[in-house]
Structure 1
Amino acid sequence: MSAQGRSAANDAVIIGAGYCGLSAAIELARQGARVRVLDRGQWGDNASAFNFGSVAVMPPALPATAHGDHDPAQRLQATLAPVRALKEQVEAFGYDCAWTQPGHITLALDETSASTLRQRGLDAQALLGGGVLWLDAHQVAGQTGAQGLMGGLLNEHFALIEPARLLLALRHHAESLGVCIQYATPVLALEPGLDAVDLVLAAGRISTARVLIASEEAWSLSMAAAREPLTLHQTHLFESAPLATAALQLISRQPRVYGTATADKDYFRVHQGRLLFGSRLGLVPLEAEPQAVVAALRQRLVGYFPSLGDIEVRQVWSGSLGFTPDGLPRTGRSGPVCWGGGYCGSGIATAVSCGRQLAHMALANATPAFTVGEGEPPQRY
């Protein structure tokens, strides 16, 4: 394609090759559409490839600035349904993503969080019918040697995956259906026309009937999407060098995953003999040097495990989380442009579900009764 050239038309172009974008591509391609996926980064350097691996059936904590309708049952159902759908998809297509269900303990550090977690447990038991248990301080001590804990909520429905393996499975599935995936291809602008949308790239233009924005950081390409309430917060994670048995037993005495109940969530688990430790919201900026991220995470870590403050760190990662005011994901549409996101730190299953929602929205036969640039109200799912 020449610098001024335009590619052959596509039925749909998807911006973002993460869980959401690839899931949308699979759904569209299964319906016979010609699909191209563009991602600004290289394969494996996004949040879908490197994250904590949590497939959570409990809604995540919201920032203190959140507002709107926080109906617990609605948020719980919005989290639970995508998890069930993802598990069915993994089993149906044989995705090799190391799906396990070790259980998750949300830790209570004070009486306020303990009261919140007890109520969250009652709400979850009413919907799930079991598998959610309140543990007192003594019972939690039998699971982890972390200090300063008043109790915790055990969720046995919680699952883990290997993130890069799930992303690779989705990529292979999409490519097997004829989807073209291009990395290191940022989209500079969208130019909707009467019967197609042009995507402006550094090397030229791509023409398509529909555009699906599957990356939250690309929402600004659509003015209608950019008007939706979405706040990006930072999250950080490090992986340690292999640890001695005593250290591993201190971190987790059962094959569990741990996290706190507050919006500046700390989370940790043992992974292949190493510690994975992360935190979100307000540690350091995303552009901070890795040394600053590690220093900030170490400071949080010693609050739980004072003896682990000097462990060797082998890998550190930072990324962004898109939060909506009420904690529910969003999809929206403006003519031929659709967008989705706002997973609030619980994005593996909800992002996959969002991709399917975007595909269905893009394939809808009804002609939108609004003009390009004027978005319809976002859908919640």
Structure 2
Amino acid sequence: MGSIRLLTIRGIPIRIHFTFPLILIWAAFQYGQGQANWAKGALFGVTFTLLLFVGVLLHELAHSLIALQFGARVREIVLFPLGGVAQMESLPERPWQELLMALAGPITSAVVGVALGIVTLLLFPLRLWVDFFHALGTGLGLQWTFLLPYLAFTNLLLAGFNLIPAFPMDGGRVLRALLATAMPYGRATAIAVAVGQGLAWLLGLVGLLGGDVVLILVAFLVYAGATQEGRMVQVKLALAGLQVDQVFSRGARAVSSTDTLGTAVDMMLEGFQADFPVCEEGRLIGLVTRADLLRGLKEYGPQAPIGQVMRRQFPTVTPQDDLFEVRERMANAGLEALPVVEEGRFLGLLTQQDLNEAYALVSVRPSLLRPRV
């Protein structure tokens, strides 16, 4: 997804998105302008921003570590210019578990803020806080002695902002978890999504009237996050209990590693299949996707063997796998199809089209595909 791996904590990769330097450039200009010494102000802004993102990382780690305790799977943590995201392959199943996971982040930010505030009081006179808030209000006279109170204040602000009851903030999950203790999960999600979208409209209106571009951007992100969460839960509930063997394409055609790329092109043009499992004597040994095929044609030509461009590392599924979990696995791998295998033998393909058709069918009439007990 265009990110660089920094380190790994408790098995969780920590990555920085390639757009992250934009926030540092913004900080340099934002804090440098209006200062007597531009370079000093810019350096202050960059240093403050980097230290603030250490707090953001701790915030996301708190979510992730609690989720791991409840059996959830955390794929990675990615730091973006506007914050961090703990990308989870699954969430805690019970409402109280989601509640604790959601609260872990804001509580961590609040603890960091209070701790930094106490350290500031121990190291500096109380007058420093008065001078800090004056400088914060005017945007002038920033000093390095303001770094600790600034970090304390911002971490507390981060904790409070994340408790706003709107997805994708933690407050949206807190609201859903509380509602889910008294009503079905789907209904709780629908209400939490509606609240988040309403708050997004309100934030956008305030930003529009006040000419605040940042607030308008935040409103857009909140609305998009709430909509995405609602959509994901709708799909999860619709596919609940369904298995791969109820929907996968059994008539998918396979190729061998010695077949040419031109052969795969002919097979693609003859039908609707765009991804091909590579098999030898019925056993799966590789996968060539549409993107692999096009890249191979460009680099090697149609006479090149498929074995030269096929993937050897890729996820597979079994007929008994849960359909929603497989959908998430497919999305995480960035693939449009996954081979279905049993004891190493190729049985067929589960495609994105299969998943879309299954969702459309059960959305119209759930009895068409009954969950397996």
Q: Is TM more than 0.5 here?
A: no
Q: Normalising to structure 2: TM-score of the pair?
A: 0.24
Q: Relative CO higher for 1 or 2, CA cutoff 8 Å, sep ≥ 6?
A: 1
Structure that is richer in strand per residue: 1
Structure that is richer in helix per residue: 2
Structure whose CA Rg is larger: 2
Q: Normalising to structure 1: TM-score of the pair?
A: 0.24
